[in-house]
Structure 1
Amino acid sequence: MGHRAGDFAFYVLALSWHPSHCALRDTGRRSPECDDGVRHAFTVHGLWPQHEAGYPEFCESAGPSRVPNSLARSVADLIPDAGAAGWQWRKHGRCTGLDQDGYFETMRAAFARVRIPESLGDADRARTFSARDVEHAFIAANPGMSERGIALSCRGGHLADVRICMTRELQFRRCPEVDRNGCQDRRLRLPAAR
């Protein structure tokens, strides 16, 4: 606590490889977004306000902390899990200084700004890439994106997230701290949707 809403330098749009999310989640907890037959490729993990070093979280805000079901449903194409949408709002969204509608609209606009590389858009077949190959595919598909403005997170040999740095106006930008902490694995699994 103690972070001030609206006090940040830029955004990180975190895109989850949804089949990895489902493969790595706690198997004791079933979730409709991971049921057999659900065919998401990349989904939004979150839109995170960032400082040049570090990030704000759980900011004080006059707005409600609970995301209404109707709003969670309206962004289910981005974040298929309503609980995750609520968590992203509480942890990160409140720190943007936007209200709930504004935060999720900005998230949608940020997602629309990114072109998913053709080689990575299919969740129906498993593949293996290096972290460098995934980054380069995104850079090639998105003019203005640079190697210093994208980073991956990995977990258990799987691609977990692609993290893309954007200005507050949703232009691609460099982000040395985010980039420096990115995964550099030479062999990342992108499992297929179940």
Structure 2
Amino acid sequence: MKSFYLILVVQSLFVVSAFSQSFDFFYFVQQWPGSYCDTKKSCCFPSSGKPDADFGIHGLWPNYKDGSYPSNCDPDSHFDQSQISGVLRRMRSEWPTLACPSNDGIQFWAHEWEKHGTCSALDQHAYFQTTLDLKNQVNLLQSLTSAGIEPNGNTYSLESIKDAIKQDVGYTPFVECNNDSSGNSQLYQIYHCVDNSASKLIECPVFPRGRCGSQIEFPTF
């Protein structure tokens, strides 16, 4: 009987280990709300009110080194709001939704968990807590404003933005742009990479596709 239970434990550990190694790294993605809102599509503030003028979390996404990624790994694992009850205040502040119509963020967080979190080898509470903790490590607005790069509608060089973040955070970011309502390129999302245990930042094995121009706008919010 002891041998039987030992086999079950070993098999369980193997499954957990295999699953945890089924992707190579995470993208940790933060978004500038001014750029989300300053598009032809516009935005809606969450039911909790206008978010702070700070980068908000978009997500923590498992990825492969070939540029592809797993998604929706467990269709039976649905978002459970009770799992984030202890961090709900931080979720509203640091992981706000800007989608229309105005809402409480539950649909956004459910999407992130079900598409990406179920592939993370973390349980729901750990997934959201870990992502919030990463934001504490990567204070993008502080990195940029300390270098004189402020969200005032001015244009800055892409290289100066990347250099300011790398100097402060210690790792090379990927900068994603979108277009404002007039078609101008603007600072939209910043990607950093995290090892597949979600325990530390790393240099990105591969960057997402897409590129910004050499000069980009940092809009107000």
TM-score class normalised by the smaller sequence: 0.7 to 0.9
Residues 176/106 of structure 1: CA separation in 2 closer, same or farther (3 Å cut): same
2:94 is the counterpart of 1:78: yes
* 2:40 corresponds to 1:40: no
Displacement, 1:33? 7.1
C-alpha displacement of 1:176: 3.8
Residue equivalent to 2:63: 50
SS of the equivalent of 2:35 reads helix
Q: Which residue matches 2:135?
A: 111
Could you say what the CA RMSD is over the residues aligned between the two structures, in angstroms? 3.0
The letter of the residue matching 2:188 is: A
Q: Is the 8 A contact 1:18 1:42 kept in 2?
A: yes
Match of 2:44? 30
Structure 1 window deviating more from structure 2 (152-161 vs 18-27): it is 18-27
Aligned to 2:159: 132
Q: Which has the larger radius of gyration?
A: 2
Contact 1:39 1:123 in 2 (8 A): no
Residue deviations 1:42-62 (CA, integer Å, cap 9, x gap): 111111111112111111155
Distance in 2 between residues matched to 1:100 and 1:127, nearest whole Å: 39
C-alpha separation between the residues in 2 aligned to 1:49 and 1:94? Answer: 10
Deviations 1:21-56, CA, capped at 9 Å, x for gaps: 1223724x6333797x64322111111111112111
Residue 168 (structure 2) aligns with: 141
Amino acid of the structure 2 residue aligned with 1:77:
S
1:187 is aligned to 2:215: yes
1:164 match: 192
Shift of 1:133: 1.6
Specify the SS of the correspondent of 1:107.
helix
Count of paired positions: 183
TM superposition shift of 1:73: 3.2
- Structure 2 partner of 1:178: 207
Identity of aligned residues (%): 21
> Which structure is richer in relative contact order (CA contacts within 8 A, separation 6 or more)?
1
Which is worse superposed, 14-23 or 68-77? 68-77
SS across alignment from 2:93: coil
Is residue 14 of structure 1 aligned with residue 41 of structure 2?
A: no
Alignment check: 8 A CA contact 1:5 1:97 kept: yes
- For the 8 Å contact 2:83–2:124, the answer to whether it is kept is no
The Cα of 1:118 is off from its aligned counterpart by 4.3
Q: CA deviation at 1:89?
A: 1.2
Runs of 5+ consecutive residues of structure 1 not aligned to the other structure: none
